[in-house]
Amino acid sequence: MTEQVNNKGRNKLFTLLVIGHTGIHWFKQIYPILLPTIKSELELTDVQIGTIVTANEAASGTLTMPSGIIADTYYKHRGLILGGSLVLCGLAYFLVGFYANYLFVILGFMVLGLASAAWHPAAQSSLSTFFPDKRGFALAGHGMGASIGDTIAPIAIGFLLLYFSWTNLAQWQFIPALILGLIIFSLTRKSFHTNVSPPSLSNYVSGIKELLMNPFVLAVMFASSFVGMARLAIIGFLTIYLTEYLGYPPYWVGINWALLYVMGIVSQPIMGYVSDKFSRKTVVLPAFLTLSVCYFLIPFATNPIVLGIIIGAMGMFFYGTSNITTAAVLDVAQSQLHGTSTSIMSVFRQVFTLPSPIIAAYIITIYGMSALFYYAAILLLVASVFWAFIKIPKA
């Protein structure tokens, strides 16, 4: 599918999707900061926390494939999908804060996972279609928006937790979610009012089959699965480590969590540009090796400044590499199936990542918190081995 739009039109859409993605990740990064407080006030165990994180990821995985199909099939309604995703984030937090019990924490964060799953295939496939000449850069720019939200939310929520209850903070999220959702819907809906025909069933099936039989695509997806396992384990327990083991107060936890993402604001556009100019592998392999080393070093960093430097180094690649690996798959996917291709990659990864927080919880219970970071380091090392042998076409 080739979108005939001028640069002004596609640049407007790019800007709106970056802003919307900032909002999505604002909401995504609130819940890790709330987890230590939720754990304390609801008297939850590490395994229960792992279950919450897994439930969030499972819900996201459940909708990922349907949302990709919907994004491709109902192209003209992508504005509604994008705006609705943001509103759904606010509803998720309202449920969590209003009912404030373990069951609704799980249910609310499952709704949050659904919202994230609805946004990404529609947004990423749109950027891939509108920017075929700068796919890596466009997806990385979209990721930069995520990093902005990922950076601001932990600092803001960590500070606000000093003055407000977590239940109030959660409920209040519905207001900005509703406002931003309506803005994104109203300003993007006309971008997709074009004569674009959805793929026929036969083309759809053959395109998916072709994608799944591509050895390059399979290797990329396997490697991404190991990276996702490590990322989900870190998301689930890094704030617990900072709070319970290092004794950091909420605002300091928020600052350290923000460091995990702030570097991505700068690094992601650079990674996207380099991957477009040279190859995806040029960016991904060094990034995975760096992450592996950083994970391994965390337990040895007892000095807050040293730990902050390590977390900041992790932040250069913690999220942004997923945009480059997505671009690698979309490079070889049929243009009419970019939404579905994004979903296939996510579903494949989530099959492996879903158990990771619970596995991590049991590792912590048996071997101690330090073992969590060794577990993550090994997973990144395995992913690096995959990429060392992948032959990637020049982007």
User: Tens digits of per-residue pLDDT, 48-97?
Assistant: 998 998 899 889 878 877 888 888 888 888 999 999 999 999 999 999 99
The residue written with tokens 């190991």 in the block is: 226
Residues with Cβ within 8 Å of residue 159, at least 6 apart in sequence: 250, 251, 254
Answer yes or no: is 56 within a domain: yes
| Residue-level pLDDT at 154 | 87
| Residue-level pLDDT at 61 | 78
Answer yes or no: is 395 within a domain: no
Task: Quote the CA–CA distance of 150 and 261 in Å, as a whole number.
Answer: 6
Helix segments in the chain, DSSP class H: 7-42, 46-73, 78-99, 102-130, 135-160, 166-172, 174-188, 201-212, 215-240, 250-277, 280-297, 304-315, 321-330, 338-353, 356-367, 370-389
Answer yes or no: is 242 within a domain: yes
What's the sign of the alpha-carbon dihedral 287, 310, 352, 20? Answer: negative
Domain span holding position 290: 7-389
Task: Quote the CA–CA distance of 213 and 332 in Å, as a whole number.
Answer: 12
| Residue-level pLDDT at 3 | 44
Answer yes or no: is 304 within a domain: yes
Number of domains in the chain: 1
pTM: 0.75
Residues with Cβ within 8 Å of residue 97, at least 6 apart in sequence: 166, 167, 168, 169, 170, 171, 172, 173
Helix segments in 131-192, DSSP class H: 135-160, 166-172, 174-188
> Residue 202 belongs to a domain with what CATH number?
1.20.1250.20
Answer yes or no: is 2 within a domain: no
| Residue-level pLDDT at 394 | 53
Task: Quote the CA–CA distance of 61 and 22 in Å, as a whole number.
Answer: 21
Percentage of the chain modeled with pLDDT above 90? 55
Answer yes or no: is 212 within a domain: yes
Question: Got the DSSP string for 212-244?
Answer: HT-HHHHHHHHHHHHHHHHHHHHHHHHHHIIII
Amino acid type, 129 = T
pLDDT tens for the chain, 395 residues long, are: 444 456 778 899 999 999 999 999 999 989 889 999 999 999 999 889 989 988 998 898 788 778 888 888 888 889 999 999 999 999 999 999 999 999 999 999 999 999 999 999 899 889 988 888 888 889 889 988 988 998 899 889 989 999 999 999 999 999 999 999 999 999 998 888 665 566 666 766 777 788 788 888 889 999 999 999 999 999 889 999 999 999 999 889 989 988 888 888 888 889 989 988 888 899 999 999 999 999 999 999 989 999 999 999 999 999 888 888 988 888 877 766 777 787 788 778 878 888 898 999 999 999 999 999 999 999 999 999 999 998 865 54
Q: Which of these, 84, 26, 123, 61, lies nearest to 323 by C-alpha position?
A: 123
Answer yes or no: is 111 within a domain: yes
Answer yes or no: is 394 within a domain: no
